[in-house]
Amino acid sequence: MRNKEVAQKFYELAGLSELAEENPFKARAYLKVAQQIENLPVPVEDLAREGKLTSIKGVGKASANKILQYLNTGHIDKLEELKKKIPESLLELEKVPELGVRRAKILFDTLGIQSVESLKKAAMQGKIRNLPGFGEKIEKGILKGLEDMKNRQSERISIGIALPLAESIVDELKKYSPVEKIKICGSIRRMKGTIGDIDILVVSNNPVSVMDKFVSLGMVKNVIVKGEKKSSILSTENIQVDLRVVQRELFGAAIQYFTGSKEHNIRIRELANKRNLKINEYGVFDLNTNKCIASETEESIYESIGLPWIPPEIREDSGEIELAIEGKLPKLIELTDIRGDIHLHSLYSDGMNSIEEMAQQALQLGYNYIAITDHARALGVANGLSIERYKDEKKEIEQLNRKFAPFKIFFGTELNILSDGRIDFSDEELNLFDICLAGIHSGMNQEKGKITNRIINAMSYNSVRAITHPLGGIIGRRNNYDVDLDSVFKEAQKRDVLVEINASSQRLDLNDINARRAKEIYNLKFEIGTDAHSIDGMKDMRYGIGVARRAWLTKSDVINAFSLEEFEEFIGKR
DNA sequence: GCCGTTTTCGGCCCGACTGTTTTCAGTCG
């Protein structure tokens, strides 16, 4: 799949087109193409082959030809032409805080600055402050920005870090009486797997005091901007936090605006324009009378342009608006739909809690069942179990089942897909278990064909019902292994094997885009498992649900949203 | 460059904050 690569080329086209001062709407058009292709659930090559490129929203004839040229020849004439006019390195310059297209262009035109290095030199020599539109503060800001860029979280951070941090800020601010209402918005509310910054919205009739409080919180490292309505700080963990304060009557409009995504909001505002309305963070306004016709609730904002409320997780302009117009939005799965967690580790292998403790936690979470799936023998580092030790575990589970009935603990295993594609035990030995999951835990650097075949071969075992963490990445620490997901999905479809949405905030694997593809193209079913190694880890289910909702999954797509009876029937099916 | 049940040409989302300005441009989200 070459979507990322093609998208990247259109990002370059957009940036260079802007720098070359072409029609600014052209750059926006390129940007839109880039974003659409990046989020496309199918390989762009497939659409190209079928001549369906212009069916992508925002892709017209000219862009389609550019995509075709790139896929066939590896270059785009238009892009080469722009690069002759504008040095590519200016795209890097634009990323420096304080700099955008205009200022980058001025720096290049007047001082010939093309690179981050020459920028730093010129700023240190005080050459920048005298340029038109620049000044001493901007020059200093650039130097500081260059410094910050080194320290800043270069990658987006996992939602598993961002959400708890956001929640702790909310808890702090809640204690402060001028704060009437408070809500986390932005990409966290949309449950994106990785987060750029934290957005928080507050209702208060004393915004100044709330801002003072906010910038003096213990986790504030420095203040980026501070105003009456909006402030931004950098946390001690180098994560940017934006706070916005509005009046009570404007809460709905502000939540809608502040939740995004940007692309979704642009579409919403375009729709409003067609109805002679204007939407901003203060409400929906009739352009004739300038009167506000909605602002208090999010529902009213959507209603004013003839749409039902759209769940935040799918506000990405990836088809939700079209379906909303038709009134055909699916009812997405919810955390409360989950009836059990079927990927769990206990003290028997490398977990931190006993099976009984895991069961108690599951009852706390309102589940009807769990499956304990300790590692199998080949995973020595994780204290993987032999058949004999599994038999002991089974006995303990049977005892606990008598104690906890009607709650049920299923006896499972997470098998290892070995480097040659075999798994730890034979199908005959695997009859011991209620449910077998299998995943790759070693040989992750093998080449694509080999890894893909290993997973496909693992699915040939009749007992294997699900593939755990299909891509194997750990956010911020380990890349995905190189696997041809489409081949895996195809085989999973053929053999009726589940794919996992690993809900651990460290993994989120499959991610939203891949899970959506698995459902829409291959009709696969899923299990959402926390892969918890402690009772605390079981709380990560909410992240898995976030992925599932972003993938447009409904309750019926997820096996552990099945009732106990339905789940038993499912695992007994073969 | 894209797009259209009010448009095949003339539009293209919207506002806060900052710094450099004397009324606004640039950046950012």
Q: Nearest nt to A96, CA vs C1'?
A: B27
Cis peptide before A97 (omega within 30 of 0): no
Q: If you average pLDDT over residues A225-250, what whole number do you get?
A: 89
Q: How far is the CA of A292 from the C1' of B26 (A)?
A: 30
**Residue nearest the C1' of B18 (CA based):** A225
Is nucleic acid strand B under 7 Å from A227's C-beta? Answer: yes
Could you tell me what percentage of chain A is helix, strand and coil, using 3-state DSSP and rounding each to the nearest 5? 50, 15, 35
Q: How far apart are CA A389 and CA A381, in angstroms?
A: 16
Give the CATH class of A250-326.
alpha beta
Q: Which pLDDT score, from 0 to 100, does residue A497 have?
A: 97
Reduced to 3 states, what is the DSSP secondary structure of residue A31?
Answer: helix
**Residue nearest the C1' of B1 (CA based):** A26
Q: Nearest nt to A272, CA vs C1'?
A: B13
Average pLDDT over all residues of chain A: 91
pLDDT tens digits for range A341-373:
999 999 999 999 999 999 999 999 999 999 999
- A482: pLDDT strictly greater than 90: no
Domain chopping of chain A, boundaries: 3-150, 184-245, 250-326, 335-571
Is nucleic acid strand B under 7 Å from A572's C-beta? Answer: no
Is nucleic acid strand B under 7 Å from A495's C-beta? Answer: no
Q: How many CB atoms lie within 10 A of CB A200?
A: 21
Name the residue among A236, A185, A179 with its Cα closest to residue A208: A179
Q: Which pLDDT score, from 0 to 100, does residue A531 have?
A: 96
Strand B within 7 Å of which CB atoms in A 70-99? Answer: 78, 97-99
Is nucleic acid strand B under 7 Å from A101's C-beta? Answer: yes
Q: Nearest nt to A280, CA vs C1'?
A: B14
Q: Which residues contact A383 (CB under 8 A, 6 or more apart)?
A: A348, A349, A350, A375
Q: Which two tokens stand for residue A362?
A: 């599951």
- A43: pLDDT strictly greater than 90: no
Name beta bridge partners: A374: A413
- List the CATH code of the domain at A184-245: 3.30.460.10
| Strand A198-203 versus strand A464-467 pairing type | unpaired
Is nucleic acid strand B under 7 Å from A134's C-beta? Answer: yes
Q: Which pLDDT score, from 0 to 100, does residue A525 have?
A: 97
Q: Which pLDDT score, from 0 to 100, does residue A134 have?
A: 87
Q: If you average pLDDT over residues A493-498, what whole number do you get?
A: 96
Look up tokens 């089942």; give the residue.
A401
Q: If you average pLDDT over residues A281-286, what whole number do you get?
A: 89
Q: How far is the CA of A427 from the C1' of B13 (A)?
A: 59
Backbone angles phi, psi at A290, to 5 degrees: 65, 20
Reduced to 3 states, what is the DSSP secondary structure of residue A102?
Answer: helix
- A574: pLDDT strictly greater than 80: no
Q: Which residues contact A360 (CB under 8 A, 6 or more apart)?
A: A535
Q: Which pLDDT score, from 0 to 100, does residue A378 have?
A: 79
Q: Which pLDDT score, from 0 to 100, does residue A573 have?
A: 67
Give the CATH class of A335-571.
alpha beta
Q: If you average pLDDT over residues A27-31, what whole number do you get?
A: 90
**N- to C-terminal Cα distance for chain A?**
34
pLDDT tens digits for range A304-314:
988 999 999 99
Q: Are A381 and A423 in contact (CB under 8 A)?
A: no
How large is the greatest C-alpha to C-alpha distance in chain A, in angstroms? 81
Confidence of residue A476 (pLDDT cuts 50, 70, 90): confident
Q: Which pLDDT score, from 0 to 100, does residue A164 have?
A: 93
Rg of chain A (C-alpha set): 26
Q: How far apart are CA A362 and CA A49, in angstroms?
A: 49
| Chain B nucleotides covered by protein, CB below 7 Å | 1-3, 6-7, 11-21, 25-29
DSSP element (H, E) containing A26:
helix A24-38
Residues A25-48 as b/e (b if ≥16 CB within 10 A, e otherwise) read eebebbbbbbbbbbbbbbbbeebb
Which CATH number, 3.90.550.10, 1.20.210.10, 1.10.645.10, 1.10.150.110, labels domain A3-150?
A: 1.10.150.110
